[in-house]
C-alpha cells in the first residue's frame, strides 16, 4: 500500500511507480510490463507531437477499451496536450457536440466509427485519425508540466442542456490516483478488472490508481454479466469496480465458487447500494472487502465507507477520502450540525478547475471555500443534500437537480427532450427519471403528439428514430402520451406537476 503523499506531480509520471518487470496492462494484444508501458506512452506521446499542435490543444478519442484508449490519458498530457475522452456509446450528434465545444484538433478513433460521422460533425480544423496510425520510434520522456496545468476535459451532463466539460489538472488526476490507491489498499499483486468506460472519471481512475500502486489492470468490454464472470475466472481478477445496475446483473449471474472467491475488493459509485444489495454482495463474494463510495466529476471522489463499517452502516456514504475536505453546509453557508441536512461541499486539491468555456455555470458550482475550511482556494457545491450522523458518517438525503442517473450514467433531461422533439413526432415533451430496480432510474417521457398523429403511431416512429440518434442508456423506457401538457402561472411547462402525477 502506497503512502498518501499530498505532493502533486504530472499525471504522466504515474507508470514510473511500478516495478519495471511487473505487468501493468493485460489486454487482447497481450501484456505490457511497467518498463514497456513507459515506452508505449512515450511513443504515443511522440506520435502526437508530430502533428505540431500548439501546447494545450485538445486531443479527443472515441474508442472502446483498446490499448490506445488506455495509453492516451497519459500520452496526451505528456505531449503538452489536453485529453478529451468520448464515451464509445455516444452517437455522432453527441460526438459532434463534444468535438465542437472542446475545440478538438484531433479525433482518434476507428474506421467503423469514423464512417458513422456525418457532414458537419467534424469541423474543418479537426483531423480524424485511426488509432493504429499513431506510431513513432521516438520515446518522449516524462513531462515537466506544472501540476496545476490542464490535463484533461471530461464531459458530463448537467441538469439542463448538453454535456459540459469538467477541466482536470495534472494534480487533480495524479492525487486522485494516489488517494484511491491508498484507501483501497491496492497492492502490486492485485489484478484490477476494468469494466467501466474509460471516459467515466471512475473508469479512468481505475487505470491511474492501479498504476500508481504498481498493480495490473485488465480492461474489459463486456456484453453480458457472464462475460465478466468468465474474465474474473480467466484472469484471476482480485478487484471489480461497478455501479449498482452492474451489481444487479452480476448477482443474477451464475458464479463458480472458485471464481467468486478470487475477488478481494468490490468498489461502488454512481449510485447508492441498497442494504439488500450489500447483503447479497457480501454473501456472493465472501472474501471481498466492499467499498461504497460517493463522487462527482467536478471533484472526482469525495467519500468512501471503510469495509469494516459496511455491515453496521449499509446506507452510509462514509467519510472523506484522502486529500478531500467535505463540508455539510446550510443554505446560509454555515455548518450543518450532526443530524441536520445540508449541501455537500467539497474542498481541497481534488476539486476541478471548473467547466470548459462556461464561466456562468462554473460560477454557480465553484466558489471560494468558506473561511472556516481547512483548505484555501475553490470548493465545489455538489447540489446533493447529505446528513452527517453522530459518528461522523455521511448519509445521502437527496439530489437537488433534475439529473437522471440510469445504469451509472448521468443523463440530461433537456438533451433527451431535444432528441424527442427533433423529428416532429411529438411537439412537447418532458423527460424524468423514475425509480427502477435494475437501472436505478429509468427514463420516462411525457409527451404530446403532433396534430393528426396517433400516439401509438408517433411512439413507433419515435422509438425507431431514437435508436439511431441516442445511445442505449439514454433511450426512454416508457412514454406517457397526453392531449395537453400542464402549464404553470408563467405559462411554462409544469414539470413539478407532471412529476407528481408520475410518482402518484
Share of the chain above pLDDT 70, in %: 96
Residue 159 is predicted with a pLDDT of 43
Kindly state the average pLDDT of the residues 90-106: 95
Contact 190, 239 (CB under 8 A): yes
d(CA 423, CA 466): 9
Residue 143 is predicted with a pLDDT of 97
- Lowest-confidence pick of 194-203, 293-302, 394-403, 451-460: 394-403
d(CA 147, CA 174): 9
Residue 358 lies in a domain: no
Q: What is the DSSP string of 127-186?
A: EEEEGGG---S--PPPP---TTSEEEEEEE--SSSS-EEEEEEHHHHHHHHHHHHHHTT-
d(CA 65, CA 199): 10
Contact 428, 186 (CB under 8 A): no
Residue 160 is predicted with a pLDDT of 47
Residue 420 lies in a domain: yes
Place of cell 486531443: 59
Cβ-Cβ contacts under 8 Å for 462 (sequence gap 6 or more): 420, 423, 425, 426, 479
Kindly state the average pLDDT of the residues 250-276: 91
Q: What confidence tier does 272 reach under pLDDT thresholds 50, 70, 90?
A: confident
E strands present in 254-355: 265-268, 289-294, 303-304, 319-320, 325-329, 341-347
d(CA 163, CA 166): 10
Q: What confidence tier does 83 reach under pLDDT thresholds 50, 70, 90?
A: very high
Residues constituting the chain: 504
SS3 386: strand
Query: For residue 245, is pLDDT > 80?
Result: no
Residue 476 lies in a domain: yes
The pLDDT tens digits of the residues spanning 322-375 come to 999 999 999 999 999 999 999 999 999 999 999 999 999 999 999 999 999 999
In terms of residue numbers, what domain contains 429?
A: 404-503
Q: What confidence tier does 18 reach under pLDDT thresholds 50, 70, 90?
A: low
The pLDDT tens digits of the residues spanning 127-143 come to 999 999 999 999 999 99
Residue 1 is predicted with a pLDDT of 57
The CATH number linked to 460 is: 3.30.300.30
Of the candidates 298, 299, 318, which has an alpha carbon nearest to the alpha carbon of residue 309?
Answer: 318
Contact 326, 345 (CB under 8 A): yes
The pLDDT tens digits of the residues spanning 23-54 come to 999 999 999 999 999 999 999 999 999 999 99
Contact 207, 220 (CB under 8 A): no
Share of the chain above pLDDT 90, in %: 78
Residue 110 is predicted with a pLDDT of 98
Residue 356 lies in a domain: no
Let me know the angle formed at the C-alpha of 76 by 29 and 146, rounded to the nearest 5 degrees.
135
Cell digits of residue 115: 464512417
Sheet holding 440-449, edge to edge: 426-436, 440-449, 478-481
End-to-end, the C-alpha distance of the chain in Å comes to 50
Of the candidates 164, 170, 166, 174, which has an alpha carbon nearest to the alpha carbon of residue 150?
Answer: 170
d(CA 272, CA 396): 8
d(CA 169, CA 192): 25
Residue 47 is predicted with a pLDDT of 98
User: Model's pTM, two decimal places?
Assistant: 0.86
**Most confident among 12-16, 92-96, 154-158 (mean pLDDT):** 92-96
Query: For residue 458, is pLDDT > 50?
Result: yes
Of the candidates 356, 288, 344, which has an alpha carbon nearest to the alpha carbon of residue 320?
Answer: 344
Of the candidates 398, 92, 67, 350, which has an alpha carbon nearest to the alpha carbon of residue 219?
Answer: 67
Cβ-Cβ contacts under 8 Å for 303 (sequence gap 6 or more): 293, 294, 295, 317, 318, 319, 320, 321, 324, 326, 394
Q: What confidence tier does 403 reach under pLDDT thresholds 50, 70, 90?
A: confident
Residue 144 is predicted with a pLDDT of 96
**DSSP code of residue 34:** H
Query: For residue 491, is pLDDT > 80?
Result: no
The pLDDT tens digits of the residues spanning 61-70 come to 999 999 999 9
Residue 275 is predicted with a pLDDT of 83
Q: What confidence tier does 4 reach under pLDDT thresholds 50, 70, 90?
A: confident
Contact 45, 78 (CB under 8 A): yes
Residue 19 is predicted with a pLDDT of 78
Residue 246 is predicted with a pLDDT of 87
Q: In whole numbers, what is the pLDDT of the chain averaged over residues?
A: 93
Structurally, how many domains does the chain consist of? Answer: 1
Place of cell 455537500: 344
Residue 324 lies in a domain: no
Residue 459 lies in a domain: yes
Cell digits of residue 409: 450514467
Residue 210 lies in a domain: no
Residue 444 lies in a domain: yes
Query: For residue 408, is pLDDT > 90?
Result: no
Torsion of CA 211, 213, 214, 217, to 10 degrees: -50
Residue 399 is predicted with a pLDDT of 67
Q: What confidence tier does 412 reach under pLDDT thresholds 50, 70, 90?
A: confident
- Lowest-confidence pick of 46-50, 294-298, 404-408, 464-468: 404-408
Amino acid at each position: 500500500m502506497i503512502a498518501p503523499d499530498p505532493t502533486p506531480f504530472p499525471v504522466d509520471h504515474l507508470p514510473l511507480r511500478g516495478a519495471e518487470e511487473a505487468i501493468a496492462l493485460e489486454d487482447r494484444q497481450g501484456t505490457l510490463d511497467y518498463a514497456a508501458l513507459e515506452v508505449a506512452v512515450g511513443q504515443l506521446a511522440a506520435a502526437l507531437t508530430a502533428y505540431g499542435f500548439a501546447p494545450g490543444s485538445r486531443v479527443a478519442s472515441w474508442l472502446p477499451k483498446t490499448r490506445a484508449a488506455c495509453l492516451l490519458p497519459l500520452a496526451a498530457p505528456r505531449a503538452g496536450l489536453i485529453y478529451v475522452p468520448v464515451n464509445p456509446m455516444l452517437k455522432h450528434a453527441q460526438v459532434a457536440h463534444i468535438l465542437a465545444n472542446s475545440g478538438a484538433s484531433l479525433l482518434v478513433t476507428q474506421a467503423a466509427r469514423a464512417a458513422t460521422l456525418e457532414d458537419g460533425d467534424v469541423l474543418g480544423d479537426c483531423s480524424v485519425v485511426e488509432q493504429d496510425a499513431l506510431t513513432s520510434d521516438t520515446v518522449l520522456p516524462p513531462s515537466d508540466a506544472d501540476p496545476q496545468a490542464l490535463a484533461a476535459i471530461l464531459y458530463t451532463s448537467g441538469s439542463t442542456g448538453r454535456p459540459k466539460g469538467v477541466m482536470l489538472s495534472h494534480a487533480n488526476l495524479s492525487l486522485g490516483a494516489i488517494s484511491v490507491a491508498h484507501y483501497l489498499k491496492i497492492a502490486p499483486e492485485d489484478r484490477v478488472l476494468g469494466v467501466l468506460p474509460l471516459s467515466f472519471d471512475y473508469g479512468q481512475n481505475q487505470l491511474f490508481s492501479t498504476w500508481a500502486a504498481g498493480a495490473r489492470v485488465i480492461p474489459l468490454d463486456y456484453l453480458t454479466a457472464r462475460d465478466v464472470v468468465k474474465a474474473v475466472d480467466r484472469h484471476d481478477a482480485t478487484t471489480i469496480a461497478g455501479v449498482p445496475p452492474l451489481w444487479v446483473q452480476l448477482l443474477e449471474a451464475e458464479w463458480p465458487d472458485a471464481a467468486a472467491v478470487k475477488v478481494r475488493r468490490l468498489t461502488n459509485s454512481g449510485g447508492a447500494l441498497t442494504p439488500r444489495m450489500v447483503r447479497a454482495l457480501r454473501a456472493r463474494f465472501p472474501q471481498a472487502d466492499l467499498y461504497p463510495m460517493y463522487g462527482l466529476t467536478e471533484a472526482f471522489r469525495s467519500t468512501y465507507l471503510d469495509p469494516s463499517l459496511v455491515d453496521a452502516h449499509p446506507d452510509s456514504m462514509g467519510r472523506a477520502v484522502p486529500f478531500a475536505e467535505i463540508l455539510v453546509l446550510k443554505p446560509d453557508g454555515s455548518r450543518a450540525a450532526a443530524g441536520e441536512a445540508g449541501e455537500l461541499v467539497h474542498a481541497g486539491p481534488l476539486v476541478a478547475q471548473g467547466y470548459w468555456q462556461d464561466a456562468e455555470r462554473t460560477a454557480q458550482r465553484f466558489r471560494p471555500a468558506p473561511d472556516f475550511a481547512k483548505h484555501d482556494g475553490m470548493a465545489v457545491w455538489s447540489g446533493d443534500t447529505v446528513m452527517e450522523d453522530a459518528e461522523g458518517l455521511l448519509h445521502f438525503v437527496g439530489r437537488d437537480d433534475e439529473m437522471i442517473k440510469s445504469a451509472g450514467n448521468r443523463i440530461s433531461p433537456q438533451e433527451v427532450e431535444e432528441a424527442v422533439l427533433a423529428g416532429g413526432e411529438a411537439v412537447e415533451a418532458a423527460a424524468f427519471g423514475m425509480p427502477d430496480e435494475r437501472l436505478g432510474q429509468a427514463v420516462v417521457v411525457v409527451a404530446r403528439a403532433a396534430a393528426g398523429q396517433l400516439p401509438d403511431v408517433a411512439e413507433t416512429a419515435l422509438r425507431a428514430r431514437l435508436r439511431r440518434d441516442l445511445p442505449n442508456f439514454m433511450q426512454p423506457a416508457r412514454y406517457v402520451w397526453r392531449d395537453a401538457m400542464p402549464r404553470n402561472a408563467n405559462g411554462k411547462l409544469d414539470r413539478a406537476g407532471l412529476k407528481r402525477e408520475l410518482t402518484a
